[in-house]
Chain A
Amino acid sequence: MSNTSGVHVSLKQAKQLVEYLEAGQQEDADDLIADIQNPINTELFAEIGKLTRQLHDSLMNFQVDSRLSDLATADIPDAKERLNYVISRTEEAANKTMDAVEAIFPVVDKIQKQVKEVNPLWSKLMHNELNMDEFKALCIDIDALLETTGVETDQMKTLMTDVLMAQDFQDLTGQVIRKVIDLVVEVEEGLINMLTAFGITSNASTEKSLPKVGDNLVEGPIVNTEERSDVVNNQDDVDDLLSSLGF
């Protein structure tokens, strides 16, 4: 059964209406008539109701999402610890390496000095200009040089092994930093979801902003020099810039 306005009334609704009227439920009867006349509104209200429920649920989920609070109370402090560990391990490695290198320098100096001492007589020997006394002196010098070289190269090997072993920080700090990167990615996703939930799209600010700088434009090492036009790539760039300033 239909009419020209497109309003449909079912047999069930008609019976319900008669029931309401017979029972004197005037208000219910009026509501039913309104519903029959205006099915669109009902759908709209139902849709708004559904959305409201969804919004409510997602806000509730947001509050109770334990992952989010874990991130703030556990993971981020843990990441700070991890990064501090990276600082101390790299510092330790740098110092161990420099300890060894600083110990090698005097050893090399000592050998160099003895070689220099041997050189004049050795060159005389090579030119057949050496007398017997000089030959004896040369033998003594060479004996000392061989002795020193033998002992000191053993010492250098030990020190070079120390330098080698000091590089083990790379593996450990690499693993730690990778974990922190995972955390940063998770936080980034969380923040994007939050922005999306509040209707702020990341496209809203398409203009890519530069990292925050401190006093005197301090920013620290630039890791993406190729993507930036406001920084120099290397020492040659610095030299070119300074010479263009008449430096």
Chain B
Amino acid sequence: MDKNIKVLVVDDFSTMRRIVKNLLRDLGFTNISEADDGSTALPMLQGGDFEFVVTDWNMPGMQGIDLLKAIRADASLSHIPVLMVTAEAKKEQIIMAAQAGVNGYIVKPFTAATLKTKLEKIFERLG
């Protein structure tokens, strides 16, 4: 897995962005940007060469699930793997995210080990 890829972390809480950023850095990812909701994230993705997105679901403005759908609907972004890290725990929502093409789903509260495992699984599948 290439650790130099550009990663976008999307969460409305700055503390959660900071936690995810620290965990990613510990896993070797150093090129990390942040956005506080889907509507800020989408133009960043369209303007940059991001290769991985970690997003929350429940955010003001554009929610994570809608960001995921927008990424999958945009031909230039649809290849980007998206990992959902959220407190949303309804089975219906997890199914909804899977159908929308999510690459991984982590429920909060989560551990550093869970994040590591899911990341490895995602990149392993991408080859």
Query: Footprint of B on A, CB under 8 Å?
Result: 91, 94-95, 98, 101-102, 214-222, 225, 230-232, 234-235, 238, 241-242, 245, 247
**Residues in B whose Cβ lies below 8 Å from that of A247:** 98
Q: Does B22 sit within 8 A of A, measured CB to CB?
A: yes
8 Å CB contact of A245 from B22, B63, B93, B95: B95
8 Å CB contact of A241 from B18, B63, B91: B91
Total residue contacts A-B, CB cutoff 8 A: 73
**Residues in B whose Cβ lies below 8 Å from that of A215:** 63
Query: Footprint of A on B, CB under 8 Å?
Result: 13-15, 18-19, 22, 57-58, 63, 65-66, 87-96, 98, 105-108, 110, 114
8 Å CB contact of B91 from A101, A219, A230: A230
Bound together, the chains give a CA A231 to CA B91 distance in angstroms of: 5
Q: Kindly provide the distance from the CB of A105 to the nearest chain B CB, expressed in whole angstroms.
A: 8
Contact B94 A219 (CB under 8 A): no
**Residues in B whose Cβ lies below 8 Å from that of A94:** 15, 18
Q: Kindly provide the distance from the CB of B9 to the nearest chain A CB, expressed in whole angstroms.
A: 14
Contact A238 B65 (CB under 8 A): no
Bound together, the chains give a CA A95 to CA B16 distance in angstroms of: 10
Closest residue on chain A to residue B92 by CB atoms: A217
Bound together, the chains give a CA A205 to CA B57 distance in angstroms of: 33
Q: Kindly provide the distance from the CB of A3 to the nearest chain B CB, expressed in whole angstroms.
A: 76
Which 7 residue pairs spanning A and B have beta carbons closest together?
A94-B15, A221-B87, A231-B89, A218-B58, A222-B89, A232-B89, A216-B65
8 Å CB contact of B90 from A91, A98, A231, A235: A231
Contact B15 A95 (CB under 8 A): yes
**Residues in A whose Cβ lies below 8 Å from that of B96:** 216-217
**Residues in B whose Cβ lies below 8 Å from that of A221:** 87, 89, 108
Interchain residue pairs with CB less than 8 A apart (8): A91-B14, A91-B15, A217-B92, A220-B88, A235-B114, A238-B94, A238-B106, A241-B91
Bound together, the chains give a CA A238 to CA B110 distance in angstroms of: 12
Contact B98 A102 (CB under 8 A): no
Q: Among the interface residues A216, A219, A231, A245, which one has the most CB atoms of the partner chain B within 10 A?
A: A216
**Residues in A whose Cβ lies below 8 Å from that of B107:** 232, 234-235, 238
Contact B93 A217 (CB under 8 A): yes
Contact B88 A242 (CB under 8 A): no
Q: Kindly provide the distance from the CB of B5 to the nearest chain A CB, expressed in whole angstroms.
A: 22
Additional pairs, 15, CB under 8 Å, beyond known A102-B22, A235-B106: A91-B15, A98-B18, A98-B22, A217-B88, A218-B88, A220-B87, A221-B89, A230-B91, A230-B92, A231-B89, A232-B90, A232-B107, A238-B94, A238-B107, A241-B91
**Residues in B whose Cβ lies below 8 Å from that of A238:** 89, 94, 105-107
Contact A216 B93 (CB under 8 A): yes
Contact B88 A219 (CB under 8 A): yes
**Residues in B whose Cβ lies below 8 Å from that of A232:** 89-91, 94, 107
8 Å CB contact of B66 from A216, A230, A245: A216
Contact B58 A220 (CB under 8 A): yes
Contact A235 B110 (CB under 8 A): yes
**Residues in A whose Cβ lies below 8 Å from that of B66:** 216
If A219-B88, A232-B89 touch, whether A241 touches B57 (CB-CB below 8 Å) is: no
**Residues in B whose Cβ lies below 8 Å from that of A245:** 95, 98
